[in-house]
């Protein structure tokens, strides 16, 4: 029997034309192959040996393709939508699916504004008339955006960009989004309203919702019957959110003055009654069709493929460990990993039991990925081998560390709070808590061993537990100063006057072990730990 040689390099299959920067971002470590993903026979043959496949929108990765892909580990969609990828089937097959969720947001926002302007000023029919030799100025009198009210349906990333751009036109911006807090909307200058209010007040409307069973037909006959007369409506999000027959009737009746459409319920769409109306400007799903968006999408998914094939967590994965990673959960992933490393540094040993406690608003979503992030952080500075989101649970099992995810909606002091709490061999407990603050979602350590602090998790940290008495803070400063270590931040917390206290330090360079020992001795400290996150 002839033995088949094993592939020495992972095979990455590019099934559709992508920017040259995509291949450059993949680097030299892979066997990069190409095929025409729209040719079903060619795709099924080529995908059989692929470890990863990169697609755009023309290649269908469904159950049949996944069954043919014996080695497949990751499907990467160079764009936002995943209509052509069966995420459920991929999850069942243990295949990661990634996309580029922010690659086209500027392009999509700009197209929505372009459609709004074109519809308001009748650019498309006026252009067609001029090409027919007609000079019809009065026929195509439009309306200004200035001092009008625009309703944004869906205040996600693209919706926010559209709102910001239209505010620059002097428009009053309102929005409907049941998953956005009023305070967050106010931060970007938008008044949050219910859908009925938006329909009644909007002179212009722009749709920016994902397509889900709940949003299909959201703007239908009943809604269009009560909109403010003369509405200009734009849909550059997903087809089907605006009911097309109902929109046709509203445009014919004049209730809706004009529409700008980039998406349709069934695509490709080359034959629609809407195309016969002069008050409709339509484009063939061009939201992501800019050179910049295509390059950003290709580079983003190439980086994701590298991470996925290395066993790392991919921030842009839409399925991991069988579950979805919600947008609100993703910023907590790197924070949780850092908390895990701080936990190990403070504990000084491996815990027998680790609880990953997640509290607050994000518990409305699946937060199981934070357990993986915590374990990766806990073991990063414990084992010599590279720790990944794939092998971290195995490392815990091999070392007899029990792990539990604790989820509580109640979070009295913080919007969201992540705590890693562990029980050591002697029965004592160690805990580290962190949160994200502000619009920029800045990472903060807010508690260590139940001592309240407020410290940025910089590259070099130190934590000293001691008996509270005068002169101790000065002692720390003196010893670090003599060692040439600059203090960037310091927090002191205690459980009672004259009781146990904790000093938490952020410093500009690593603290040598002998310097840490000097601090511990001089303060007669119960423990002195340094943590290096660089």
Residue 21 has pLDDT above 70, yes or no: yes
pLDDT band at 251 (very low <50, low <70, confident <90, very high): very high
Return the percentage of the chain with pLDDT > 90, whole number: 72
SS3 state of residue 469: coil
Angle at 299 between CA 296 and CA 305, to 5 degrees: 140
Is-contact 75 97, C-beta < 8 A?
yes
Q: What is the pLDDT of residues 125-156, one digit of tens each?
A: 999 999 999 998 999 999 999 999 999 999 98
Model pTM score:
0.63
Domains parsed from the chain with CATH numbers:
11-101+293-319 (3.40.50.720), 105-282 (3.40.50.720), 325-456 (3.30.1330.90), 458-534 (3.30.70.260)
The structure tokens listed for 511 are: 């603290």
What is the overall mean pLDDT for the chain? 91
356 forms bridges with which residues in the sheet?
405, 420
pLDDT of residue 179: 63
pLDDT in the model for residue 3: 37
292: enclosing H helix or E strand: helix 291-309
Output DSSP code: residue 242. Answer: B
Q: Which neighbouring-strand residues pair with 204?
A: 150, 232
Each residue's pLDDT tens digit, 422-460: 999 889 999 999 999 987 889 999 999 989 999 999 999
- Least confidently predicted of 8-17, 28-37, 160-169, 395-404: 395-404
Phi, psi at 74, each rounded to 5°: -150, 135
Q: Which two tokens stand for residue 27?
A: 């680097």
Selection from 80-94, 333-347, 372-386 with the highest mean pLDDT: 333-347
- Percentage of the chain exceeding pLDDT 70: 96
Classified as helix, coil or strand, 137 is coil
The catalytic residues are: 238, 267, 285
* Helices and strands: H and E segment counts in the chain: 17, 23
The count of other CB atoms within 10 Å of the CB of residue 196 is 11
pLDDT of residue 388 exceeding 50, the answer is yes
Could you report the per-residue pLDDT of 475-507, keeping only the tens digit for each? 999 999 999 999 999 999 988 887 899 999 999
User: Do residues 322 and 91 lie in contact, with contact meaning Cβ atoms separated by under 8 Å?
Assistant: yes
């Amino acid at each position: 029997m002839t033995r088949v040689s094993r592939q020495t390099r992972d095979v990455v299959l590019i099934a559709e034309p992508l920017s040259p920067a995509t291949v450059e971002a993949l680097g030299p470590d892979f066997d990069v192959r190409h095929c025409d993903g729209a040719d079903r026979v060619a795709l099924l043959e080529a995908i059989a040996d692929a470890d990863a496949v990169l697609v755009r929108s023309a290649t269908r990765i469904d159950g049949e393709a996944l069954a043919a892909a014996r080695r497949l580990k990751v499907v990467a969609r160079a764009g936002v939508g995943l209509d052509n990828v069966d995420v459920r089937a991929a999850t069942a097959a243990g295949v990661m699916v990634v996309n580029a969720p922010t690659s086209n947001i500027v392009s999509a926002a700009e197209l929505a504004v372009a459609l709004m302007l074109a519809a308001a000023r009748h650019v498309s029919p006026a252009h067609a008339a001029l090409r027919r030799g007609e000079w019809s100025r009065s026929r195509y009198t439009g309306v200004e955006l200035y001092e009008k009210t625009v309703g944004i349906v869906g205040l996600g990333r693209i919706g926010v960009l559209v709102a910001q751009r239209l505010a620059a036109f002097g428009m009053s911006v309102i929005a409907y989004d049941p998953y956005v807090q009023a305070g967050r909307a106010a931060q970007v200058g938008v008044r949050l309203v219910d859908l009925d209010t938006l329909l009644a007040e909007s002179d212009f409307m722009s749709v920016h919702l994902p397509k889900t069973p709940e949003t299909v037909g959201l703007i239908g006959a009943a809604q269009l019957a009560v909109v403010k007369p003369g509405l200009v409506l734009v849909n550059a999000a997903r087809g089907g959110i605006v009911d097309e027959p109902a929109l046709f009737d509203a445009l014919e009746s004049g209730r809706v003055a004009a529409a700008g459409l980039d998406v349709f319920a069934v695509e490709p769409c080359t034959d629609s009654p809407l195309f016969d109306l002069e008050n409709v400007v339509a484009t063939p799903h061009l939201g992501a069709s800019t050179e910049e968006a295509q390059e950003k999408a290709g580079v983003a998914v190439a980086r994701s493929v590298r991470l996925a094939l290395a066993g790392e967590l991919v921030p842009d994965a839409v399925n991991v460990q069988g579950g979805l990673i919600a947008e609100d959960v993703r910023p907590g992933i790197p924070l949780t990993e850092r908390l895990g490393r701080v936990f190990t540094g403070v504990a000084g040993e491996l815990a027998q039991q680790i609880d990953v406690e997640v509290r607050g608003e994000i518990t409305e979503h699946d937060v199981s990925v934070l357990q993986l992030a915590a374990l990766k952080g806990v073991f990063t500075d414990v084992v010599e081998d590279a720790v990944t989101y794939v092998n971290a649970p195995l490392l815990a099992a091999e070392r007899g560390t029990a792990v539990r995810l604790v989820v509580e909606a109640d979070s009295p002091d913080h919007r969201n709070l992540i705590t890693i709490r562990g029980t050591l061999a002697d029965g004592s407990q160690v805990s580290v808590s962190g949160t994200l603050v502000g619009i920029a979602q800045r990472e903060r350590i807010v508690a260590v061993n139940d001592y309240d602090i407020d410290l940025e998790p910089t590259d070099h940290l130190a934590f000293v537990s001691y008996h509270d008495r005068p002169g101790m803070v000065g002692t720390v400063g003196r010893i670090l100063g003599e060692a040439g270590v600059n203090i960037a931040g310091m927090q002191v917390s205690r459980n009672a006057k004259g009781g146990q206290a904790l000093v938490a330090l952020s410093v500009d360079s690593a603290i040598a072990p002998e310097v840490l020992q000097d601090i511990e001795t001089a303060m007669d400290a119960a423990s002195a730990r340094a943590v290096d996150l660089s």
